[in-house]
Amino acid sequence: MTPSSAKVQLDHLRRLAYIYVRQSDPMQVRQHHESTLRQYDLQARARSLGWVPEQIVVLDEDLGRSATDLTVTRSGFQKLLTEVALGRVGAIFNLEVSRLARQDSEWHRLVEVATLTGVLLIDEHQVYDPRLPDDRLMLGLKGLLSSNETRQMGLRLWQNKLRKAQRGELAIPLPIGLVFDPVQGIRQDPDEQVRAAVSLLFERFRLSGHISGVVHYFQAQSLQFPKRARGAWQDGPVVWGPLTCQRVHAALHNPLYAGAYVYGRITHRAEAKPLDRLQQRFVRLAPTAWPVVLWDAFPGYISRSEYEANQTWLQAHRWQQQLSGRRQDGPALLSGMALCGRCGRRLHPCYSGAQNQHVTYVCDQQQRRYAQATCQRIPGQGVDQAVATAVLAALTPAQVELSLAILDEMERQQATLRQQWALRLDGVHYASRLAQRRYEQVDPENRLVARTLEREWEAALQQVAQLEAEFAHQQETSPLSLDLGQRQQLLALAQDLSTVWQAETTSWPESL
């Protein structure tokens, strides 16, 4: 093999020497400083081989960027490859030449372009000239070994995590309402207010059957929902805020709330990605592709059967939305339930009018799919009225039992709502007392600290006053308990269902 010093020719020294500095991720950059310093010290090796400082370029744009992830763009490497192709580079320095690229395609492209333009590849110990057969063979072997090492190491790490997850011991991100206990493992959050809020979410979906209904209830009752602070994980601080449809949707789709230990719902491994989504960094897998699912691994908020029923309902609702392209909520009584008497297909409601008060049941699936004529259109008012009459006639013999059941359900929901407000009030009162204790424990002479703690105490007292005012307003607009007169009124209304049903304030969805 040609001596290293003899491979560096005058033509190489006339061109630039690039010091390519890179590390795989930001954590390595923060914690492994020695590797970064060694890469910067390659400038001394470049000077020892004959390059002057003005011709040495340090390229460190790719620090903290992985070379194995196809979705990560390494701008520094692309710039280096461009400079090599233009013939401006005489040599590329790196701690280990095979670390210049982790993808086979990038490595072979770099070596090929370096061969055409006569660029040397130099590490701490060797100088490689890709135009020489022996050096070209050695570079090929190094690239092959590096690529195989990367794949084997990734596979070993994945298999180790998988084995640990199959035992239910791997730490996984937990949604709000679940925490990890070193002794008991995964368990429900010990904070009663957090548990009550999560339980209420599933209860309201059980009653309304609509994600928007859950959000509307929380908004109407001035209730908030917890979440972890941004960037926090597991034991991070809890932040309370308005409930959104996205959060309800995510909770309903999360099997951990059903007591299932699940690992691998989201993957970044290329082997597990569908071909049409290979370029995406993370891919959400279908439940049948989850590598680990352990049911009844810990106490959940809902049962497995309820979780599976929710998934079936959500999938059917999603299919209906995609099929019809029209709003599914409205005054129609039989939305999603009426079938066509001619073809047996499902009718969907079509709304018209300034406030969508006019309903027409339409069967036009064949028209939208195959450009055929509409099967039929039926005015909704007559249909809804006929069904309402039949329902009232069927319920008349059981009005007493129904009235008692309605009253019990109303009281149960009111008790749940009272509990939510009581927990919120307990929380702000505790924060106020804590701020007071902190203020009282400080030395009064230390005004620098005392003034800050005094302001925090005042802010806590303002939160108490604000929440108590909201609670009082809520009591005025929608009392959280039923007195004797309200109970008798509800019983009378329940025994006269036709009056309740035909009231202007009762919508068709509420009737059902």
Residues identified as active-site: 24
- The length of the chain is 512
Compute, in degrees rounded to 10, the torsion defined by CA atoms 234, 236, 238, 244: -60
Q: Could you tell me whether strands 127-128 and 178-181 are parallel, antiparallel, or unpaired per DSSP bridges?
A: unpaired
Q: Which two tokens stand for residue 288?
A: 């049948």
Contact 77, 36 (CB under 8 A): no
Cα gap 174→152, rounded to integer Å: 29
Q: What is the 3-state secondary structure (H, E, C) of 16-46?
A: EEEEEEEECCHHHHHHCHHHHHHHHCHHHHH
* C-beta atoms surrounding 174 within 10 Å: 17
Contact 310, 248 (CB under 8 A): no
Q: How many CB atoms lie within 10 A of CB 358?
A: 14
Alpha helices in 371-398, H assignment, sequence order:
380-395
- By DSSP bridging, strand 283-284 and strand 266-267 are antiparallel
Write phi, then psi, for 22 (nearest 5 degrees): -155, 150
Contact 103, 68 (CB under 8 A): yes
CA–CA distance, 225 with 239 (Å, rounded to integer)? 8
User: How big is the chain by its Cα radius of gyration, in Å?
Assistant: 34
| Distance (Å, whole) CA 9 – CA 17 | 13
Cβ count within 10 A of residue 241: 10
To the nearest 10 degrees (0 to 180), the angle between helices 245-253 and 304-324 is: 130
Distance, in Å, from the CA atom of 170 to the CA atom of 173, rounded to the nearest integer, reads 10
Q: Is 122 helix (H, G, I), strand (E, B) or coil?
A: strand
57 in helix, strand or coil? strand
What are the distances in angstroms from CA 419 to CA 139, 195, 227, 238, 426?
A: 70, 12, 19, 19, 10
* CA–CA dist 206, 455 (Å, integer): 43
